[in-house]
Amino acid sequence: GQNIDQPTEMTATEGAIVQINCTYQTSGFNGLFWYQQHAGEAPTFLSYNVLDGLEEKGRFSSFLSRSKGYSYLLLKELQMKDSASYLCAAADNYGQNFVFGPGTRLSVLP
């Protein structure tokens, strides 16, 4: 089966850097995704990692360690609009399941 864990809530200050961690256990692994979801809205894609290492995309970066079953999303120069839930999700190696973590609700304070 698959299990994904993330912190429930985090708080950070505008302009700061925040790291949201995700640990996963999957029967097979075919990549890890991060999605952003504002309250009442649809999730939107942020990043995808299938190989170990850091992927940078503007203010957002995502890191993956497959041997440790660990990923993090790094948000730099935080803005108020970054207040949202961040969902970690993993696809299994058999293409039969896609599991989202519980999401981390990030609050950015002025």
Partner 1 sequence: DSGVTQTPKHLITATGQRVTLRCSPRSGDLSVYWYQQSLDQGLQFLIQYYNGEERAKGNILERFSAQQFPDLHSELNLSSLELGDSALYFCASNQGGFQETQYFGPGTRLLVL
The stretch among 10-18, 55-63, 64-72, 88-96 that binds partner 1 (CB under 8 A) is 88-96
- 97 lies in the site for partner 1, by CB under 8 A: yes
Report the C-alpha gap between 55 and 64 in whole angstroms: 9
- 103 lies in the site for partner 1, by CB under 8 A: yes
Q: Tokens 């961040």 identify what position?
A: 86
- String of contacts with partner 1 for each residue 16-55, x by CB under 8 A: --------------xx-x-------xxxxx--x-x-----
Tokens in use for 82?
Answer: 């970054």
Residue 107: CB minimum distance to partner 1, A: 18
Q: How far is CA 3 from the centre of its chain?
A: 14
